[in-house]
């Protein structure tokens, strides 16, 4: 059997950047807290925790004093910066520059009259929380087409998207809002904020999924981009499986396949892709 690895699998630029920041500090033996899971990949988080990274939740930020706190690539609302500064914490800001630009763009609409900021995304996703937190009083999140009906009419709507959402769904939502705002006082201003590191992977992934008999997709349980990219594989190849770690692979999945393709999310490290390949080789050798 041939085992192929999808060439673009592995960390995106924003995740590489924040992990390098964390390791740079941990390797010097310094104390480092991280607000939330540094990346939506359980095994990578485990690896960094073993190196000394201390993961805390927002509710615990109040009790940390005079230490270093890492803000992950998803970004944080202004309230997290305020608490950290009040507590004398040194902020290591790992906010992805792409997310940072979106936050600034949202904030620039603060004083605009008769406007509403709408973010298409998952309500509890940390990136969305960071975006909503820029101007909470005039920002609303929608997660589906059905929720467009909840938006007011005759308003200027600035539409943004969580960076890892599906482009097709975002375009449909934009079209629906555009129709709804096609009246006096209404207008849609579209901000295309889907990250190219996710959306540009789709064509290559579609081809890869179609070329292999079986697809093993490696991603974290809570990885949004992982779920979207896996869906891309599944649409092309129904023989696709999502795993969090190699030991979840069932030997019978491999039966009858001449080729297996391994792919991963933008939050999946290369070492995990390689471990998956080794695991499959071991399973095949054991047959």
3-state secondary structure of 29: coil
Strand partners for 140: 118
Q: Does residue 165 touch ligand SF4 according to CB under 6 A?
A: no
Placement of tokens 């943004």 in the chain: 160
The DSSP H or E segment spanning 101 is helix 97-107
Q: Which region among 41-49, 178-186, 195-203, 250-258 touches ligand SF4 (by CB under 6 A)?
A: 195-203
Q: Tokens for 55?
A: 């993961």
Strand partners for 35: 56
Q: Does residue 223 touch ligand SF4 according to CB under 6 A?
A: no
Q: Which region among 40-48, 166-174, 191-199, 239-247 touches ligand SF4 (by CB under 6 A)?
A: 191-199
Q: Does residue 188 touch ligand SF4 according to CB under 6 A?
A: no
Q: Does residue 15 touch ligand SF4 according to CB under 6 A?
A: yes
To ligand SF4, the closest distance from the beta carbon of 103 in angstroms equals: 11
Instruction: Pick the catalytic residue from 31, 60, 127, 281.
Output: 127
Chosen residue from 128, 195, 228, 265 binding ligand SF4 by CB under 6 A: 195
Q: Is residue 137 annotated as part of the catalytic site, yes or no?
A: no
Q: Does residue 197 touch ligand SF4 according to CB under 6 A?
A: yes
A 10 A CB-CB count for 131 gives: 29
Strand partners for 190: 159
What is d(CA 55, CA 51) in angstroms, rounded to the nearest whole number?
A: 12
Chosen residue from 38, 73, 117, 118 binding ligand SF4 by CB under 6 A: 73
- Nearest residue to ligand SF4, by Cβ distance, number only: 14
What is d(CA 209, CA 36) in angstroms, rounded to the nearest whole number?
A: 33
Q: Tokens for 203?
A: 């064509």
Placement of tokens 């004093």 in the chain: 65
Chosen residue from 32, 53, 96, 205 binding ligand SF4 by CB under 6 A: 96
For residues 92 and 32, the answer to whether their CB atoms sit within 8 Å is yes
Q: How many residues bind ligand SF4 (CB under 6 A)?
A: 15
Phi-psi bin for 2: left (phi > 0), alpha (psi -120 to 50), beta? beta
Q: Which region among 12-20, 79-87, 112-120, 251-259 touches ligand SF4 (by CB under 6 A)?
A: 12-20
Chosen residue from 266, 268, 272, 276 binding ligand SF4 by CB under 6 A: 266
For residues 81 and 130, the answer to whether their CB atoms sit within 8 Å is no
Chosen residue from 58, 83, 91, 98 binding ligand SF4 by CB under 6 A: 98
Q: Does residue 99 touch ligand SF4 according to CB under 6 A?
A: yes
Distances (CA, A) of 274 to 90, 174, 180, 233: 35, 40, 49, 19
Binding site for ligand SF4 (CB under 6 A): 12-15, 73, 96, 98-99, 163-164, 195, 197-198, 225, 266
User: Annotated active-site positions, please?
Assistant: 127
């Amino acid at each position: 059997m041939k085992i192929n690895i999808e060439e673009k699998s592995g960390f995106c630029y924003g995740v590489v950047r924040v992990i390098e920041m964390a390791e740079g500090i941990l390797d010097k033996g310094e104390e480092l807290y991280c607000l939330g899971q540094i990346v939506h990949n359980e095994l990578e988080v485990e690896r960094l925790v073993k190196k000394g990274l201390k993961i805390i939740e927002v509710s615990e930020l109040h009790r940390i004093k005079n230490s270093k706190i890492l803000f992950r690539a998803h970004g944080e609302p202004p309230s997290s910066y305020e608490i950290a500064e009040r507590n004398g914490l040194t902020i290591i800001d790992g906010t992805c520059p792409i997310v940072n630009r979106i936050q600034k763009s949202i904030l620039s609409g603060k004083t605009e009259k008769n406007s509403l900021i709408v973010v298409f995304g998952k309500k509890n996703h940390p990136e969305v929380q960071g975006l909503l937190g820029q101007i909470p009083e005039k920002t609303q999140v929608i997660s589906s087409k059905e929720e467009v009906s909840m938006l007011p009419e005759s308003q200027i709507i600035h539409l943004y998207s969580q960076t890892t959402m599906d482009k097709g769904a975002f375009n449909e939502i934009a079209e629906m809002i555009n129709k709804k705002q096609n009246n006096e006082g209404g207008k849609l201003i579209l901000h295309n904020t889907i990250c190219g590191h996710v959306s540009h992977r789709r064509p290559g992934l579609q081809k890869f999924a179609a070329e292999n008999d079986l697809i093993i997709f490696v991603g974290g349980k809570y990885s949004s981009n992982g779920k979207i990219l896996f869906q891309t594989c599944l649409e092309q190849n129904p023989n696709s499986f999502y795993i969090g770690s190699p030991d979840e692979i069932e030997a019978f999945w491999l039966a009858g396949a001449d080729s297996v393709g391994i792919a991963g999310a933008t939050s999946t490290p290369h070492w995990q892709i390689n471990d998956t390949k080794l695991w499959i080789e071991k399973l095949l050798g054991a047959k």
